[in-house]
């Protein structure tokens, strides 16, 4: 903790030295955001030495972690104790602070909600330069409750205390095929409500939509032993296996990172799923943060756009989003998305919030399905960038759903504050960032300042 306190003092000094009028921006080695800034006056805020696991307590099944610690680092610290975080987001370099101040999700979310729901305590550097400890039962409760989905506009997480859960060494997977979206959503709802399938308990639930006639729910169950284990960190590709086998086995660590090697399926954009390319690619490069850096380089230098122009291909729009739709409206969303956007595959992950969190107001106890889709879509003639993303925003809210803010958004200001509870946000913003040193949520997530 003394090392942690030195790191806290360092970031406080760094924050105090930022000149007036410059918006602070965390200097991070990696990012999982897809809101690329196109300018504006920003100043990097040093957060070095805030990326460690402080402690893991097997007795209380809790961990104290610095805000910039990645889930990869945390999982490596907890698994030797037979423990894991309640929800481990899909990508290795997502940080604890990022998953709490933004949103994370994974296949335990049908039972355990979102990552911030396992947080017991937050140490936060606020917009006005204070360091406060916020809990659900102290004087900083309003900040604690408003922190999820605030994206660093109320402050930065310096230390996080989270609950852990027991694990077993292996995960047994069962892939259930469906040819009808309505029946798929109904089955997902029944499995999540009962937390079992065919009389056996279920520990993990997610799925993949490949087409209106082909989709799968994947169920995972912890196991002490396994007859074999698959390896999807080399030539074999996890999402392709879903279509080819009904049963599979993975170590718990490989299960947690099953999506990271190919960034779900997005590695195909870089040719990494081609056997020759894959055989030559070092395994240490087959991970989400490497692909994310390639996307940033492409955006900076416009390589793909130039190639498309030279080849006479239509202009493409980046459609990188995660949305939550009530499970009973899930089939409607899939019909709309396939008809109007047409991108496949689509990830499906059920979730249920245990209580109401002001800035992302999911109805507690209600089952939603996260639909994740990430790629480029050719624009129809006469349409301009933002066409598809605006269609998706409109449809999601017509279906009583919500959209994550880690990527591009196009809401008008009044609509945004209605959807993301400006009435709860602004009192907390004024209390902890009275002078507005940090951007507000609309400026950061929609205007991209």
pLDDT digits (tens, 9 = 90+) for 145-192: 999 999 999 999 999 999 999 999 999 999 999 999 999 999 999 999
- pLDDT at res. 90: 92
Residue 304: HSE in the Cβ half-sphere, 13 Å Cα cutoff: 18
**SS3 call for 374:** strand
Residue 32 has pLDDT above 70, yes or no: no
Q: What mean pLDDT is predicted for residues 38-64?
A: 85
Of 26-30, 350-354, 429-433, the poorest mean pLDDT is in: 26-30
Q: What mean pLDDT is predicted for residues 407-427?
A: 96
pLDDT bracket for residue 35 (50, 70, 90): low
- pLDDT at res. 197: 97
CA dihedral 397, 402, 403, 409 (to 10 degrees): 50
pLDDT bracket for residue 239 (50, 70, 90): very high
Of 47-61, 245-259, 284-298, 307-321, the poorest mean pLDDT is in: 307-321
CA dihedral 385, 388, 393, 395 (to 10 degrees): 150
pLDDT digit string (tens) for 243-253?
999 999 999 99
Which DSSP string corresponds to 58-97? TTTTEEEEETT-BHHHHHHHHGGGTEEESS--SSTT-BHH
For Cα atoms 356, 361, 363, give the angle at the middle one, nearest 5 degrees: 65
Q: What CATH fold (topology level) applies to the domain 302-409? A: Alpha-Beta Plaits (3.30.70)
pLDDT bracket for residue 220 (50, 70, 90): very high
- pLDDT at res. 49: 85
- pLDDT at res. 2: 86
Q: What mean pLDDT is predicted for residues 353-380?
A: 95
Closest CA to 51 of 40, 64, 66, 34: 66
How far apart CA 212 and CA 192 sit, in angstroms, is 22
Which DSSP string corresponds to 226-285? -S-----SSSS-HHHHHHH-SEEEEEHHHHHTTTTTTTTTGGGGGTTTSHHHHHHS-GGG
CATH class, 2-167+425-445 region? alpha beta
Q: Are 371 and 337 in contact (CB under 8 A)?
A: yes
Q: Are 290 and 281 in contact (CB under 8 A)?
A: no
**Residues ≥6 apart with Cβ < 8 Å to 327:** 185, 188, 189, 192, 350, 367, 368, 369
**What is the DSSP pairing of strand 42-46 with strand 23-27?**
parallel
Residue 410 has pLDDT above 70, yes or no: yes
Q: What mean pLDDT is predicted for residues 1-15?
A: 90
Q: Are 205 and 185 in contact (CB under 8 A)?
A: no
- pLDDT at res. 311: 73
pLDDT bracket for residue 53 (50, 70, 90): very high
Closest CA to 360 of 101, 183, 84, 90: 101
Domain ranges of the chain: 2-167+425-445, 170-258, 302-409
- For residue 432, give the DSSP letter: H
Q: What mean pLDDT is predicted for residues 204-218?
A: 98
Helix axes 288-301, 303-311, angle to 10 degrees: 60
- pLDDT at res. 336: 98
Domains 2-167+425-445 and 302-409 share a fold: no
How far apart CA 242 and CA 206 sit, in angstroms, is 11
**Residues ≥6 apart with Cβ < 8 Å to 57:** 63
Q: What is the mean pLDDT of the chain?
A: 93
Residue 267 has pLDDT above 60, yes or no: yes
Of 84-88, 101-105, 141-145, the poorest mean pLDDT is in: 101-105
Q: What mean pLDDT is predicted for residues 367-387?
A: 95
Residue 39 has pLDDT above 60, yes or no: no
Residue 446 has pLDDT above 90, yes or no: yes
Percent of the chain predicted with pLDDT > 90: 84
């Amino acid at each position: 903790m003394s090392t942690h306190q030195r790191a806290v003092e360092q970031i406080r000094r760094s924050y105090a030295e930022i000149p007036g009028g410059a918006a602070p921006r965390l200097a991070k080695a990696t990012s999982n955001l897809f809101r690329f800034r196109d300018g504006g006056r920003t100043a990097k805020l040093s957060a070095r030495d805030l990326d460690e696991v402080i402690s893991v307590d097997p007795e209380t099944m809790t961990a104290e972690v610095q805000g910039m610690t990645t889930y990869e680092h945390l999982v490596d610290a907890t698994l030797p104790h037979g423990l894991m975080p309640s929800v481990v987001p899909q990508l290795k370099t997502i940080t604890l602070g990022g998953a709490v101040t933004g949103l994370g999700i994974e296949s335990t979310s049908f039972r355990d909600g979102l990552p911030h729901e396992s947080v017991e305590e937050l140490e936060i550097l606020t917009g006005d330069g204070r360091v406060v400890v916020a809990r659900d039962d102290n004087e900083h409760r309003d900040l604690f409750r408003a922190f999820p989905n605030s994206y660093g506009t109320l402050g930065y997480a310096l230390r996080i205390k989270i609950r852990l859960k027991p694990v077993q060494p292996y995960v047994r997977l069962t892939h259930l095929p469906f040819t009808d979206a309505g029946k798929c959503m109904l089955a997902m709802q029944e499995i999540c409500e009962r937390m079992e399938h065919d009389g056996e308990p279920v520990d993990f639930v997610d799925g993949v939509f490949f087409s209106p006639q082909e989709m799968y729910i994947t169920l995972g169950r912890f196991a002490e032993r396994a007859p074999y284990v698959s390896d999807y960190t080399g030539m074999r590709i996890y999402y392709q296996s879903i279509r080819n086998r009904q049963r599979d086995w993975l170590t718990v660590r490989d299960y947690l990172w099953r999506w990271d090697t190919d960034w779900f399926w997005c590695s195909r954009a870089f040719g990494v799923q081609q056997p020759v390319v894959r055989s030559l690619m070092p395994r240490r490069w087959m991970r989400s943060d490497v692909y994310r850096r390639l996307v940033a380089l492409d955006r900076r230098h416009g390589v793909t756009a130039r190639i498309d122009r030279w080849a006479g291909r239509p202009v493409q729009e980046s459609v990188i989003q995660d949305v939550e739709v009530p499970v009973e409206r899930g089939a409607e969303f899939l019909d709309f998305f396939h008809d109007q956007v047409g991108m496949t595959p689509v990830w499906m992950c059920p979730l249920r919030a245990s209580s109401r969190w002001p800035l992302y107001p999911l109805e507690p106890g209600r089952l939603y399905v996260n639909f994740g889709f990430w790629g480029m879509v050719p624009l129809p003639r006469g349409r301009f960038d933002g066409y598809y993303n605006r269609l998706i925003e409109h449809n999601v809210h017509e279906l009583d759903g919500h959209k994550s803010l880690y990527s591009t958004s196009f809401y008008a200001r009044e609509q945004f504050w209605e959807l993301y509870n400006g009435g709860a946000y602004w009192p907390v913003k004024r209390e902890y960032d009275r002078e507005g040193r940090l951007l507000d949520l609309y400026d950061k997530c929609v205007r991209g300042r």
